[in-house]
Amino acid sequence: MVEGECILYPCYFNAGYSRSEGRRVSGSLAAKGPVLADIERSLRKIGVAYRVEEHHHPAHWERHEGRIVAEWTGKKEVLIKKVAQKMDKGR
């Protein structure tokens, strides 16, 4: 990873996961079954450049969900919260 980049995985936003399973947002901001397209939509809404990669979260290696590398120089938690706020929760 390069300075100014932030990696986002779908599990960060998944309402079906507990914090210990990888969810990084509060239950009220979590979405049901988020996929990369949901994160991409949120990043476009807030105007953050990104690229999609075919990697998986180390704790969820069997899922092959992919990940997004966003161009972000601030704190990762701030970006995660912004993305979660723009995400459609009710899929």
For each of the domains in the chain, give its residue range(s) and CATH number, in order of start: 5-86 (3.30.56.30)
Model pLDDT, residue 90: 54
Model pLDDT, residue 59: 84
Alpha-carbon gap, residue 3 to 16, rounded angstroms: 31
- Report the candidate in 3, 6, 21 with the shortest Cα–Cα distance to residue 83: 6
Model pLDDT, residue 63: 79
Q: What is the tens place of the pLDDT at every residue in 44-56?
A: 999 999 999 999 8
Bridge-based pairing of strands 50-53 and 5-8 is unpaired
Q: What is the dihedral of CA 25, 67, 83, 16, to 10 degrees?
A: -40
Q: What is the tens place of the pLDDT at every residue in 21-32?
A: 999 999 999 999
Joined tokens for residue 49: 């450049």
Residues 41 and 58: beta-carbon distance below 8 Å: no
Q: What is the tens place of the pLDDT at every residue in 51-78?
A: 999 998 888 777 788 999 999 999 999 9
